[in-house]
Chain A
Amino acid sequence: GAGVSQSPSNKVTEKGKDVELRCDPISGHTALYWYRQSLGQGLEFLIYFQGNSAPDKSGLPSDRFSAERTGGSVSTLTIQRTQQEDSAVYLCASSLGVGKLTEAFFGQGTRLTVV
């Protein structure tokens, strides 16, 4: 398809385990965002990639969270030693880039449950 693809769609993990969430952005989109959406809360910004620039990691809540983007396309968000408060929907979005009229398109999200 032509949209943003995220996998897995659902993930249940035990507390203390590491998880990897994957995002395939729209082809040609240079900007990629990760957000977290907890129940009843808005979208919390995590990290932003734009082309070959250094990522903006200012939203990552702790050093257990990291993300990379290989070849300017696919991105992986890794959460180490998961905690119950990490349970949320993790959303990925991509856009054409910075500047005017560059809206972000979202994937379906990965619903993470830490038990």
Chain B
Amino acid sequence: QKEVEQDPGPLSVPEGAIVSLNCTYSNSAFQYFMWYRQYSRKGPELLMYTYSSGNKEDGRFTAQVDKSSKYISLFIRDSQPSDSATYLCAMRALSGGSYIPTFGRGTSLIVHP
């Protein structure tokens, strides 16, 4: 079993839909959580990061962390065709553990007009 599990999709939604992307993890040392977006043939770019349970909002994006369930989510409101990309979750320890981020496989999102 991988330390970070993420459904590869693809996830296809119509424009304007609310998108929910999720990851589960098994390592309780993970305390710092990140979401990256990767367009085709590009490097991943950081979207959001958080190190506490609860919600963090940035525009149309909301990151949610539930440490008790070892489950994180990224919500995208009013999805646009330009949001079509692969979304990777990543996580690492803050202290006393490895600082090297561990990534999920990524979920391919397709937003169609």
Q: A interface vs B, CB < 8 Å?
A: 4, 31, 33, 35, 40-43, 45, 48, 50, 56, 91, 93, 98-109, 111
Is B46 an interface position by the 8 A CB rule? yes
- Report the separation of the CA atoms of residues A108 and B100 in the bound assembly, to the nearest whole angstrom: 19
With A40-B8, A100-B94: A91-B43 Cβ-Cβ less than 8 Å: yes
For the side of the interface on B, what is the size category? 20 to 34
The 8 A CB mask of B66-110 against A (1 = contact, 0 = none) is 000000000000000000000010100011000111111110000
B contact face: mostly helix, strand, loop, or mixed: loop
Name the contact of B34 in the complex, choosing from A40, A100, A103 (C-beta under 8 A).
Answer: A103
| Interchain CB contact under 8 A, A45 and B102 | yes
| Interchain CB contact under 8 A, A43 and B49 | no
Name the contact of B46 in the complex, choosing from A45, A91, A105, A108 (C-beta under 8 A).
Answer: A105
Give the residues in chain B near A40, CB-CB below 8 Å.
8, 105
